[in-house]
Amino acid sequence: MELSAFRPQPKLETKETAVPRPRFPVIDAHNHLAEPFGGGWDKRPLAELLDRLDEAHVETYVDLDGGWGETLLQSHLDHFKQPAPERFMVFGGVDWTQWPEKGSQFGEWAAARLREQAKWGAQGLKIWKPLGLDVRDEKGELVAVDDERLMPIWETAVSLNWPILVHVADPVAFFDPITPQNERWEELHNHPDWHFPSPPFPPFLTIMNQFATVIRRHPQATFIGAHVGCYAENLAWVGALLDECPNYFIDISARLGELGRQPYAARRFFIKYADRILFGTDAGPSLDHYHLYYRFLETDDEYFNYSPSDPPPQGRWRIYGLHLPDAVLENIYAANAKRLFNL
């Protein structure tokens, strides 16, 4: 039998708690609306999307697709933000492909584009993982996340009062050799372009330490580390940076598989940093995913799938609910985001 055909069915008798309605209304601080991650809602009627968000009890939805290009940013501002301004926030981004042409002026040029995006209605900055992995300057050299030539970008975000949501690196196993010991073996075989071995890519911790340097260097900026600070496998590392930098926040998007298999450490982490964690799914406005997140945060259910698909995409393990107190849930679901985004 091939591993791809293996479908073990647990014989544990455990309770299953359906949580179609979260304990408190939700602000989804990390998501998308276009393909490939958002489900193509930019091609569907807005009323249908609003009905879906109402059903999920999501009050405000942060759309990060603007970070993939100004044409997409403008279309999403027109399609979502303009007709329903209270329901959506749309983040802008940086066009890294312009660096070879702009040369030494790239930082100032990119900062000027952010100011223009703000005039259109963008309300934050999304930095995605090409920075640190692929972005190259006019000399063809890899640009480090903490490159000082990027200072105008961070400083402009501060002047615009924009939060900066950053996804650098990726799951740690993506940087390891694809051997039978790699826990993401199946996922990396399905997505070989997600593999970042060193060389030619920088080591995982090199990228993460560069990101930490940027956060320390700009204490007036508000940084959000996507996907549990881009290091859900090491909550102690993330917690140490949260302790050191009061301008740093994280979201929990796309990391139930990591958080839920360390439920004791994760519960302590959520309680300790209850005022620094934002809700997000990174799965589009999917009711199945929302219900999974609500179940994970609110119940003490044991050994359940962290994904609607079987087998789950990240690895063949199960998760455990955190059963968080109401005060923590209220902060994570919406109160932190309201404060951070001035909603």
pLDDT tens, per residue, the chain with 343 residues: 887 788 888 899 999 999 999 999 999 999 999 998 899 999 999 999 999 999 999 999 999 999 889 999 999 999 999 999 999 999 999 999 999 999 999 999 999 999 999 999 999 999 999 999 999 999 999 999 999 999 999 999 999 999 999 999 999 999 999 999 999 999 999 999 999 999 999 999 999 999 999 999 999 999 999 999 999 999 999 999 999 999 999 999 999 999 999 999 999 999 999 999 999 999 999 999 999 999 999 999 999 999 999 889 999 999 999 999 999 999 999 999 999 999 9
CB of 302 closer than 8 Å to CB of 321 = yes
Other residues' Cβ atoms within 10 Å of the Cβ of residue 172: 18
What are the start-end ranges of the E strands in the chain?
26-31, 58-63, 88-90, 125-127, 163-166, 222-225, 248-251, 277-278
Backbone angles phi, psi at 60, to 5 degrees: -135, 140
∠ Cα 202 239 165 (to 5°): 60
Return d(Cα 189, Cα 198) in angstroms, integer.
Answer: 18
∠ Cα 336 337 339 (to 5°): 70
Return d(Cα 265, Cα 136) in angstroms, integer.
Answer: 38
Q: For residue 270, give the nearest of 332, 336, 341, 225 by alpha carbon.
A: 332
Which CA distances in Å does 240 have to 28, 173, 245? 25, 22, 9
Return d(Cα 94, Cα 311) in angstroms, integer.
Answer: 36
Which pTM value belongs to this model? 0.97
Return d(Cα 136, Cα 142) in angstroms, integer.
Answer: 4
Give the H/E segment covering residue 106: helix 106-120
Radius of gyration of the chain (CA): 20
pLDDT value of residue 36 = 87
CA dihedral 192, 195, 198, 202 (to 10 degrees): 130
Return d(Cα 260, Cα 51) in angstroms, integer.
Answer: 29
Q: Estimate to the nearest angstrom the gap between the alpha carbon of 149 and the chain centroid.
A: 25
CATH of 3-341, one of 3.40.50.300, 3.90.1150.10, 3.20.20.140, 3.40.50.150: 3.20.20.140
Look at residue 139 and give its three-state secondary structure. coil
Return d(Cα 80, Cα 115) in angstroms, integer.
Answer: 20
pLDDT value of residue 2 = 84
CB of 299 closer than 8 Å to CB of 19 = yes
